[in-house]
Amino acid sequence: MLGSTHGTLTTDSRRARAIACGETPQQIVHGRPAEAGDLDVSGRPLYAAVPDLDRFFRPESVAVVGASDAEGRPNTGITRQLLAWAERVGARLHPVHPTRPSVFGIPCSPSVADLPEQVDLAVLLVSDPLPLIDELAEGKVKFAVAFASGFAETGEEGALAQQRLAAAVARSEGLRLLGPNTNLNAFERFRDDLDGPAIALITQSGHQGRPVFSLQELGIRLSHWAPTGNEADLETADFISYFAERPEVGAIACYIEGLKDGRSFLLAADRAARRGVPVVAVKVGRTEAGARTAATHTGKLTGADSVVDAAMRQYGVIRVDGLDELQDTATLLARARRPRAEAASRPVADGVVVYSISGGTGAHFADLATEAGLRLPTLSEAKQAELHQWIPDYLNVANPVDNGGHPVGDWRGPRILDAILDDPAVGVLICPITGPFPPMSDKLAQDLVDAAERTDKLVCVVWGSPVGTEDAYRQTLLGSSKVATFRTFANCITAVRAHLDHARFTTAYRSPFDEAPRSPSPSFRKARALMRPGQQLSEHAAKQLLRAYGIRVPREQLVTSAAAAVRAASLVGYPVVMKASGARIAHKTELGLVKIGLTSASQIRDAYRELTDIARYEDVSLDGVLVCQMVERGVEMVVGVTHDDLFGPTVTVGLGGVLVEVLRDAAVRVPPFGEDQARAMLDELRGRALLDGVRGAPPADVDALVEVVLRVQRMALELGDEIAELDINPLMVLPRGQGAVALDALAVCR
């Protein structure tokens, strides 16, 4: 599906990759798909193998360690459920218990070592699974499930116990563990009478997956449920990678409280993106309270939410907030056909038409849809004339299309639907039905189902009535796999937007891991010599760091006397800026340690004396005073690097200057990423219009800004584990064609 996106590079993309890699355009070579063992320049993996989980979900033989048939014991209910599940999947079940001769009439083995055959899966109904790991490994058991709680979710002592468990599994050479602190969701009863693409479900809290699992009652197919628990070994990323390769899986739905490893999650999301398999996720931890609760529940890092959000968006993971949104969005993405191209200029037919029997309903829905970013094109004059053959002339059919009600009750209904869906500008038809009005609503529902069968475009219905037992809803609409049915306007709009966004994303997607640098650039060697572990660099040293990566800085000289400052000003060229430079100065402006617009030797001498006096008064150690070229005309931006505990180094770009902490208008990405993502970062900024020129200002040099972002990304990849923080603020982006200049920089070494 995505093979065409790996074709010939354009000149611009070659140049962008050269910039990102610290090379000249002549040095560019085509990237290659990452392979097992590949590491990027930061030492992080570029490839993750897909775990073979077939024998976990469909084992031939299962051992239940701690099996019981004693009434009133928790293990008895679990054993009974596992027996029923093993029968459904055709697995042989072997109870294991040191003192029981049999369980539910099945001969019982005293230990795993005494089992009559090698087993694929061992279910551990014991409070401490650690002592069993070596025995399972010796028995060549492929998978184990540990239900026991009391691990990382309980605090420091439990976290240490989980580390010991994870280390034992890692030493076992072949055994994979689900849990601990998991449940029986993987062994639920999945309906086998449903067809169509399925939803595969991953949850870190079993109960939170119930609404999605219950979709089977509405005719939606579920293929798998992976309750990952504390993820001592098998993690969410493993299951995303596995499900993305399954031909029956149309979408992956996730409830995530924390991620075990940021890079492994991105590699899994990348695999799903390459294959065009949508991943829809609820990720808790948007607020401090939610993050704190998630940590106590699963004991994993929740990650800075802005970084998690950006990383998901970067790799096409669709983040939703509610479980109802998770149900509806995953269902639509699993079952909807990929939108066809409207034209070469618009690779996805994203035009949405709202069709209703009520002008008020159509207007209301159109408002909400437009505000959410859906495109509602005005239908052509010819199309409107065609629709007015069946719809009274006094009704609006430009979009929304208001039919007035009566046409849906007779032969005109199907013709209206076919005429709308035949329009090449239309990719999605949405019909909000705010309440049933039989018999016309029954016929409208059937006409919509029939029209969906005749088209490859998406047909959606919002059945807004609180009554849901009518034949039109339960039998006609829910009985169709071609119509997407919703109960609320909001969920319909969320799902349709996700569907169109994902289609656009996968059409343009190119894996950044294939082009990621694998060896250090010449810039790295120059820059590393400037690092001072555990220290903050002076502005002068931080700018040398930027210079090493080809980022332009003003003409400047570091001086230690007033006379030298005067000589430097004549070389730099008036007017000049003078700034105190020292390793521990973070906010020079607030301390009065910046003087701008100096135009004479006397001003230079006075400024030097004042700067050094302030430094002595504030007890600030200086390595000198910078005499800098003054750069005035441009848009002030900030570009920086921070270190995230989950994802490692991240790159930020936003509006800069003295208001950066007030405006907080910034976008984040996790390296590696390409030019497309660097430009997407700019498009996310609320102040993006400033770069295009406002109130007579000329357009800024956006290409130069993108170049700086890519060079900073290369720095983040190569020095990210040594840089705690890097801020270029302000980065003055000059008018188009004139470049960008880093006027100030702060660098803190880890």
Same fold, 54-178 and 555-630: no
pLDDT at site 661: 72
Q: Which of 150, 148, 133, 178 is nearest to 299 (CA)?
A: 150
Q: Which of 171, 128, 166 is nearest to 147 (CA)?
A: 128
Q: How far apart are CA 50 and CA 33, in angstroms?
A: 15
Please give the single-letter amino acid code of residue 304: A
pLDDT at site 467: 65
pLDDT at site 341: 72
For residue range 661-712, what is the model confidence (pLDDT) as tens digits?
777 889 999 999 999 999 999 999 999 999 998 887 899 999 999 999 999 9
> Could you please report the per-residue DSSP string of 214-274?
GGGGGT--EEEEEE-TT-SSS-HHHHHHHHHT-TTEEEEEEEES--S-HHHHHHHHHHHHH
pLDDT at site 471: 78
Task: Identify the bridge partners of residue 343 per DSSP, sorted by sequence position.
Answer: 346
- As given in the structure block, the two tokens for residue 297 are 């529940």
Maximum CA extent, the chain:
101
Q: How far apart are CA 207 and CA 713, in angstroms?
A: 40
CB atoms within 10 A of CB 381: 9
Coil, helix or strand at residue 724: strand
Q: How far apart are CA 480 and CA 477, in angstroms?
A: 6
pLDDT at site 24: 34
Q: Which of 714, 707, 696 is nearest to 742 (CA)?
A: 707
- As given in the structure block, the two tokens for residue 348 are 């996805």
Q: How far apart are CA 157 and CA 162, in angstroms?
A: 9
Q: What CATH number was assigned to the domain covering residues 185-335?
A: 3.40.50.261
Residue ranges covered by each domain of the chain: 54-178, 185-335, 352-493, 555-630, 635-749
- As given in the structure block, the two tokens for residue 266 are 């991105």
CATH code matching the domain that covers 635-749, chosen among 3.40.50.10490, 3.30.1300.10, 3.40.640.10, 3.30.470.20: 3.30.470.20
Q: How far apart are CA 492 and CA 463, in angstroms?
A: 10
Strand order, beta sheet including 594-598: 556-559, 624-629, 576-581, 594-598
Q: How far apart are CA 261 and CA 733, in angstroms?
A: 36
What's domain 352-493's superfamily in CATH?
A: Succinyl-CoA synthetase domains (3.40.50.261)
Nearest-5° Cα angle at 728, 313 to 725: 70
307-317 CB burial, b ≥16 within 10 A, e <16: bbbbbbbbbbb
pLDDT at site 53: 97
Mean pLDDT, consecutive 10-residue stretches, the chain (750 aa), reads 30 40 35 82 94 96 97 94 96 96 96 95 97 96 96 94 97 94 95 94 90 94 97 97 97 95 97 97 78 52 79 97 97 90 76 95 96 97 97 96 92 97 95 86 93 95 75 84 94 98 94 94 93 91 96 95 96 94 81 93 96 90 93 92 92 84 86 96 93 89 98 95 91 96 93
Q: By the 8 A CB rule, do 598 and 578 touch?
A: yes
- Using H for helix, E for strand and C for coil, what is the string for 657-698? CCCHHHHCCEEEECCCCCHHHHHHHHHCCCCCHHHHCCCCCC
Q: How far apart are CA 696 and CA 354, in angstroms?
A: 39
What CATH architecture applies to the domain 54-178? 3-Layer(aba) Sandwich (3.40)
In sequence order, what E strands does 149-245 have? 176-178, 198-203, 222-227
- As given in the structure block, the two tokens for residue 463 are 């059945």
Please give the single-letter amino acid code of residue 31: G
Q: How far apart are CA 715 and CA 520, in angstroms?
A: 10
pLDDT at site 432: 95
Q: Residue count of the chain, please give it.
A: 750
What CATH architecture applies to the domain 555-630? 2-Layer Sandwich (3.30)
